[in-house]
Every structure is written in structure tokens, then in C-alpha cells.
Amino acid sequence: MPDGSIPKPARQRSVAVPIRRLSASEVRQAVDVLQAAHRQPDGSLSDRFDTARLFDHLYDSVFAQSAGQARFFVARPLFSSTIVGVFAYRPTWCSAHGWELAYLAVHPDWQGRGIGTDLIQVVLAAVAEEGKAGDFIFVRAARPASFQRFGFSPCMGDPHLMVGKVGALAVAKPVAEGV
């Protein structure tokens, strides 16, 4: 839209919202989606969603070549230049046999259409391809049920800290562009 706002779609399951790796030209939009999805009712954001911090993480994921760098994916509707969802994964710092999922966000105007589920499936498929069977996957989930349906379970007595294992999770490998 000319004013830079995201067009509001009809409230129904989106038919075609391809998911692919983040490109440098999409970093600004990805930051906007992350902040819009995680903004508190009072308008505040946690330090994790600070603009400069997000820019660093996202640009590093596009340009850095280190093995421990996060890999960001974005969802963008067909025939649109607007990013509506973001999700990432990276090797966990606590083990050579683990992965961490982070920064799941779907723009509030696009929530409830299965885009978050599609992002989870694409990221889990990417982890399965890059990792090894039995590797663990951690995620701190605001909505644990979103991950429990894939086979994740609460960890260490924290209902929001979820764990699963590569090869043991229910993942239908979706088509993702540029993976």
C-alpha cells in the first residue's frame, strides 16, 4: 500500500503464502513484523525486540557464514512484496546435538490463517535436513499448544520451554523456496 501499511486480507486460510529464506532487502519488513507481533497492549516491547538488536540478528543471518548463526525464514503472500511472517532456527549454544527455534512471528493482521503452522513446518524440515536423528530441539513458546501438536513436550517443569527430537516430530515436509 502507498502508506506502507500491510493490506488486511479477508479472515480465511491463506491459500498461497510461500516461505523462503530471508534476504537482505527484507530485513526492515521482518523487523516490523516481529515488533508488531510481539508488542504488548501498552505499546512496549521487550529488549529482545529492540530495533537495533533485531537488525543485527537479521543482517547477520543473511551475511554471516558462521555455523552458529541463525537461519531466518519469511512468509510472503503470492503477488505481494509484503512479509507477513518470520521464524528462525540455529544450533543451540549448550550442545553440539541441539537446535533452538526462535523469533516466531506472524503480523497480527495475518494471524489465524495457518501461516505460523506453515513456518513451524518449514523450519522443522530445515532442522531435520541439517541435523541428525535424535538431535534435540528447544523452543520457548508463548503458545505451547502450537508446538505440542508437532510432538514437542514441556521441559524442566516449565510449560513454555518445549523440547522435541529430530526424527521424532510430526512434520510434513512442505515446499519452501530457496532452502
Strand partners, 91: 99
Q: Which helix (H) or strand (E) holds 124?
A: helix 115-130
What are the distances in angstroms from CA 92 to CA 11, 29, 58, 65, 96? 36, 26, 17, 16, 7
Q: What is the pLDDT of residues 43-101, one digit of tens each?
A: 999 999 999 999 998 998 888 766 678 899 999 998 888 999 999 999 887 777 899 99
What letter does residue 80 receive in the DSSP assignment? -
* pTM, to two decimals: 0.85
Q: What is the pLDDT of residues 136-153, one digit of tens each?
A: 999 999 889 999 999 999
